[in-house]
Structure 1
Amino acid sequence: MKKSAAVACLAAVAVVSLTGCSSEDTTGDAEPAASSSAPAADDGIPPKPTGADRDACLKATGAVDPALVTDEETVIDAGRNRCSSLSGGRKSPDECAAARFGTDAHPVTIAQGKKLNAVLRKTLCPA
């Protein structure tokens, strides 16, 4: 008798386990969870600029060095990321800007980093 009870118990466990493996979508019209890759409003990163705001940022950045604006999306993303650093009171913000905007193929000087921070404070990151 004990053997048949054990077999019945194992069969019940198997049935319950397999029910969780069905391929049927039982969530219906549930809303998807919010993406965690979007920056939070309080992390200091502003939304992507559009229109005249975007143009002003790109124009001012190009005035520092025209080669910096060859990839506009990269410039905008680098600038937005700098905003959180500018408001954080970090040491050597000009050196950080030079590192953020520069590449191995096109290094940015600390003096240019200082100008870029001034551009960002006037365009993307007004405090």
Structure 2
Amino acid sequence: MRIRAAVLAITTATLLALTGCATDGDAVDSRPEPTPSAVPTASATSIATAKTGIPDAPVGTERAALLAALLAVSPAVVGADEDRTVAAARNQCSAIHGGAKDLDHSAAQRFAQGDTSISDAQGKAINEVLKKTLCP
């Protein structure tokens, strides 16, 4: 992350220096016009999602439906912290799409909160819910 910030700072400084290099005293915009193929079509969040397999956080009815489906597996799966549960669901999507081994155990570990434990059988049910809702 620090390298990206440094490269961005150097690139910005170079571009700012070059914009003041007009030969006739007039500012010249030497940037090429963007072509339709060069115009970004996806947000930075969507690009990150595509690379990591982590979907955007669900909101509104999508979030409520996800939490209800996970609650049907077991109240212990949702626990007291719904935000933590949604974060665990998003991260588990990455494991599902990334071909991780032992997904059921991974889900059980990821969704356990506090003193509650989640079984691998519940982990399997969690994965089924996620494949149908958040990370098809």
TM-score range, shorter chain: 0.5 to 0.7
Using the size of structure 2 for normalisation, the TM-score is 0.61
TM-score (norm 1): 0.65
Structure 2 counterpart of 1:96? 106
User: Is residue 78 of structure 1 aligned with residue 84 of structure 2?
Assistant: no
Q: Comparing both chains, which one has the higher relative contact order based on Cα–Cα distances under 8 Å and sequence gaps of 6 or more? A: 1
1:54 aligns with 2:63: yes
Which of 99, 113, 126 is the equivalent residue of 1:116?
126
State the alpha-carbon separation in 1 of the partners of residues 65 and 135 from structure 2: 12
Which entry has the higher C-alpha Rg, 1 or 2?
Answer: 1
Contact 2:76 2:112 in 1 (8 A): no
Tell me if 1:41 matches 2:41.
Answer: no
In structure 2, how many angstroms separate the alpha carbons of the residues matched to 1:108 and 1:49? 23
What code does the residue aligned with 2:53 have?
G
Counterpart in the other structure of 1:35: none
- Structure 2 portions without partners, runs of 5+: 1-46
Equivalent residues, number: 90
The residue type equivalent to 2:77 in the other structure is L
Please, what is the CA RMSD of the aligned residues? 1.9
**What is the Cα deviation at residue 41 of structure 1?**
2.5
Paired AA for residue 67 in structure 1: A
Give the aligned residue type for 1:54. R
Q: In 2, distance between residues paired with 1:58 and 1:95?
A: 20
Is the contact between residue 104 and residue 121 of structure 2 (CA under 8 Å) also seen in structure 1?
yes
| Counterparts in 2 of 1:104 and 1:52: CA distance versus 1, 3 Å | closer
- Contact 2:107–2:126, Cα closer than 8 Å, also in 1: yes
Q: Identical aligned pairs, as a percentage?
A: 48
Structure 1 runs of 4+ with >3 Å offset = none
Structure 1 unaligned segments of length 5 or more: list them.
1-38
